[in-house]
Amino acid sequence: MAERRFTKDHEWIELNGAIATVGITNYAQEQLGDVVFVDLPPAGKKITKGGEAAVVESVKAASEVYSPVTGEVVESNADLAKNPALANTAAEAGGWFVKIKVADPKELSALMDAAAYKKFVDGLH
Amino acid sequence: MKTDTFSGNRGLDLEEPLLFELGRPGVTGVDMPDAPKVASKLGGLEREGSIGLAGVSEPEVIRHFVRMSRNNYSIDANLYPLGSCTMKHNPRLNEKMARLPGFGDVHPLQPESTVQGALELIHVLGHWLKTITGMPAVAMPPAAGAHGELCGMMAIRAAHDAKGDKHRTRVLIPESAHGTNPATAAQCGFSVDPIPGNSHGRVDLAAVKAKLGPDVAGIMLTNPNTLGLFENEVIEVANAIHSVGGYFYADGANFNAIVGKAKPGDMGVDAIHINLHKTFSTPHGGGGPGSGPVCFSQALAPYAPLPMIVERQGRFHLIEHRGSAGEPGEKSFGRMRTFNGQMGMFVRALSYMMSHGADGLRQVAEDAVLSANYIMASCKDDMTSPFPGPCMHEALFDDRFLEGTGVTTLDFAKAMIDEGYHPMTVYFPLVVHGAMLTEPTETESKESVDRFIHVLKSLAKKAKSGDAQFFKDAPRYAPRRRVDETAAARNPVLRWTPPAPKAQAAE
């Protein structure tokens, strides 16, 4: 299993070969509350690091999911689109958002590892 | 809801079905002879099923809506602390004026010569708005706040286009902004660049400066901001945005806090919408349409929308089309709606202004700010605020005082319903955790605000006493118990469907 990396905007990313899986973290889903809708990008869409990758809407608010890396969407999670509750129940597993063909794998090394992200989240509240 | 009465009613709390559940075929409010049988000329395009209107008599319709109205919370019933909405009393003098036949019975297509009084009223209202904002031009058409934003941003776009500045695509918007701000910018084809706030809850001036560039079209800023705080570096922000050729749009939603005290024109604002339905007491929130005139700086004035009113030798004229060079409306970005604004709201707003006068309007802002600060100060031992006061017209609380109690902001809001209050705005602004944005307005008496404060404090104490279940069960006394918002959003039922679907033959 490849190592997971995390962003300050509470996305996680995991690289397997040239394809990275991206989702929102457990902390993010807790803060959002019950997710009721996700707007996922079509395959083939080019996205840039820090740009909007998807939109997640909960009972409290609608928020952007930012792409941790630059690349091209190869797949969106059809299960999540049908059942947005997956973002709550399995945020860091089956509730992933998109798979991205990563332009530059080195972009991941600038992101936080699990320990650093935990420390970051603990500092928030 | 289960009751122990046979009817399901509880005294004056009447259980009411949907209009469609009430309806039966063959019932109407008027008695008509059966239509004669004639050969159809519709060539097979006849209606096949019923048109789906509920069959009810006139008394049934009246009772239905009167019963429904008993479940309506309104400013006429109690304090309405919904932050950012300025739910103030609507003086009945306004209503009397708006119903004068000369204002109430006019039609927008009447010849100008027959509606000189109505046009003059709009012109005078525009004069008051320009004076109050300290800005040289005003556009009356916008239908409400967000429409006013659209009007302002379209003028900004037109001003850039007129200079050939097609490359200005970026608009700076604070993270605490009303959601309509980024939506408006996006609607106008701009991209949105968020500006973080600083530790005092104000827009971060250094961040604004860092984001400046030749592609910046402008900034959208609310003052006081959505945290209920005055942006004390607003002039520096205006200078910064102007230094790169951008324009300053101000969201006037919170104007009630500064009306008569500070002028947006003095802050360097280029466009600001004024919610007549907030600051100037015209009914809203189900009580009437909004109205969002936009005031413009000299730089944007030429691009204001049509129609516009001009006065020539004591007569008032509606300019409906772009004039030729040098004439009014020459550079206007055009028409954004059919007619020149919400006449009924104009009459109410001007009645409010003239009955208050300049000194009265100043006192409106002072009392609104005093009320909010009174709530914030009175609750400081029981509740928590993200930013130290004093605040402007809104007292903002966060959910730190609920930490460890098991009670959330939502639960707290639901308990307020049982206490007979519409909850304050919750979970907005988004930048504050578990936000409760509370706006009492100036029209509440001290006694009314005191009652409200006692409710807030008693609920806060109850939450801390460990009785989380009390809050989870709320509301108990509303016609319906807690709605499952998640299920409603995930599986919305948007249409009523008859219990036994069968098409009624057309009669």
CATH of the domain at B437: 3.90.1150.10
pLDDT at res. A72: 96
Whether B148 maps to a domain, the answer reads: yes
CB under 8 Å to B329, separation ≥6 — which residues?
A: B304, B306, B308, B319, B321, B322, B323
Record: contact B427-A125, CB cut-off 8 A: no
Do B240 and B162 sit in the same domain of this protein? yes
pLDDT at res. B49: 83
Looking at the complex, report in whole angstroms how far the Cα of residue A36 sits from the nearest Cα belonging to chain B. 5
Whether A124 maps to a domain, the answer reads: no
State whether residue A103 is helix, strand or coil: coil
Do B254 and B384 sit in the same domain of this protein? no
Looking at the complex, report in whole angstroms how far the Cα of residue A9 sits from the nearest Cα belonging to chain B. 13
Of A36, A60, A125, the CB nearest to B490: A36
Record: contact B486-A36, CB cut-off 8 A: yes
pLDDT at res. B507: 44
CA distance B217 to B198: 23
Record: contact B486-A34, CB cut-off 8 A: yes
State whether residue B28 is helix, strand or coil: coil
Whether B67 maps to a domain, the answer reads: yes
Whether A37 maps to a domain, the answer reads: yes
Nearest CA in chain B to A84: B490
Domain end: B326, B351, B376, which one?
Answer: B351
Domain end: B351, B374, B394, which one?
Answer: B351
Beta bridge partner(s), residue A75: A99
Whether B502 maps to a domain, the answer reads: no
Whether B41 maps to a domain, the answer reads: no
C-alpha to C-alpha distances, B389 to B43, B126, B174, nearest whole angstrom: 73, 34, 20
Whether A102 maps to a domain, the answer reads: yes
CB B282 within 8 A of CB B291: yes
A119 to chain B, any CB pair closer than 8 A? The answer is: no
pLDDT (tens digit per residue) in B201-233: 999 999 999 999 999 999 999 999 999 999 999
**Strand order from edge to edge, sheet including A46-47:** A4-6, A11-16, A19-24, A98-102, A71-76, A46-47
Domain end: B351, B382, B397, which one?
Answer: B351
CB under 8 Å to B169, separation ≥6 — which residues?
A: B189, B190, B191, B215, B217
Say whether the peptide bond before residue B194 is cis (omega within 30 degrees of 0).
no
CA distance B443 to B82: 14
- Tell me the chain B residues in contact with residue A125 when contact means C-beta distances shorter than 8 Å: 433
Whether B42 maps to a domain, the answer reads: no
Record: contact B485-A37, CB cut-off 8 A: no
State whether residue B203 is helix, strand or coil: strand
pLDDT at res. B504: 54
Structure tokens at B68: 């429904």
Beta bridge partner(s), residue A23: A12
Record: contact B433-A59, CB cut-off 8 A: no
Q: Is the pLDDT of residue A124 over 90?
A: no
Record: contact A84-B490, CB cut-off 8 A: yes
CB B442 within 8 A of CB B364: yes
Do B345 and B374 sit in the same domain of this protein? no
Do B163 and B127 sit in the same domain of this protein? yes
CA distance B346 to B422: 28
Do B164 and B231 sit in the same domain of this protein? yes
Record: contact B485-A125, CB cut-off 8 A: no
Which helix (DSSP H) or strand (DSSP E) does residue B486 occupy?
helix B485-490
Whether B287 maps to a domain, the answer reads: yes
Total domains in chain B come to 3
Q: Which domain holds residue B20?
A: 10-24+54-71
Do B245 and B387 sit in the same domain of this protein? no
Do B252 and B281 sit in the same domain of this protein? yes
Whether B78 maps to a domain, the answer reads: no
CA distance B439 to B255: 13
Record: contact B489-A37, CB cut-off 8 A: yes
Helix axes B116-133, B343-378, angle to 10 degrees: 30
CB under 8 Å to B483, separation ≥6 — which residues?
A: none
CB under 8 Å to A40, separation ≥6 — which residues?
A: A54, A76, A77, A80, A81, A97, A98
Nearest CA in chain B to A83: B490
The single residue listed with the structure tokens 């600038």 is A110
CA distance A54 to A32: 15
Whether A120 maps to a domain, the answer reads: no
Do B270 and B389 sit in the same domain of this protein? no
**In whole angstroms, how large is the CA radius of gyration of chain A?**
13
A28 to chain B, any CB pair closer than 8 A? The answer is: no
Do B343 and B416 sit in the same domain of this protein? no
Report the CATH number that the domain containing residue A56 is assigned in CATH.
2.40.50.100
CB B205 within 8 A of CB B194: no
Record: contact B489-A36, CB cut-off 8 A: yes
pLDDT at res. B25: 85
Record: contact A59-B430, CB cut-off 8 A: no
Q: Which domain holds residue A13?
A: 4-110
Closest CA relative to residue A108, chosen from A1, A46, A16: A16
Total domains in chain A come to 1
Whether B500 maps to a domain, the answer reads: no
Do B211 and B146 sit in the same domain of this protein? yes
The single residue listed with the structure tokens 């027959």 is B114
Q: What does the pLDDT profile of chain B (507 residues) look like in tens digits? A: 567 899 888 888 888 999 999 999 889 888 888 889 999 899 989 888 878 889 999 999 999 999 998 888 999 999 999 999 999 999 999 999 999 999 999 999 999 999 999 999 999 999 999 999 999 999 999 999 999 999 999 999 999 999 999 999 999 999 989 999 999 999 999 999 999 999 999 999 999 999 999 999 999 999 999 999 999 999 999 999 999 999 999 999 999 999 999 999 999 999 999 999 999 999 987 767 899 999 999 999 999 999 999 999 999 999 999 988 888 889 999 999 989 999 999 999 999 999 999 999 999 999 999 999 999 999 999 999 999 889 999 999 999 999 999 999 999 999 999 999 999 999 999 889 999 999 999 999 999 999 999 999 999 999 999 999 999 999 999 988 998 988 998 888 898 888 765 555 544
Instruction: Please report the ipTM that was assigned to this predicted complex.
Output: 0.76
- Tell me the chain A residues in contact with residue B433 when contact means C-beta distances shorter than 8 Å: 125
CA distance B434 to B49: 49
pLDDT (tens digit per residue) in A60-95: 888 899 999 999 999 999 999 999 999 999 999 999
CA distance B365 to B260: 7
Nearest CA in chain A to B409: A60
pLDDT (tens digit per residue) in A16-73: 999 999 999 999 999 999 999 999 999 999 999 999 999 999 988 888 999 999 999 9
Do B306 and B167 sit in the same domain of this protein? yes
Record: contact B486-A61, CB cut-off 8 A: no
The single residue listed with the structure tokens 């996680």 is A12
Whether A119 maps to a domain, the answer reads: no
CA angle B120–B125–B131, rounded 5-degree value: 125
Report the CATH number that the domain containing residue B216 is assigned in CATH.
3.40.640.10
Looking at the complex, report in whole angstroms how far the Cα of residue A17 sits from the nearest Cα belonging to chain B. 33
Whether A75 maps to a domain, the answer reads: yes
Do B317 and B439 sit in the same domain of this protein? no
Size of interface A-B (CB pairs under 8 A): 19
Residues of B with CB under 8 A from a CB of A: 427, 430, 433, 485-486, 489-490
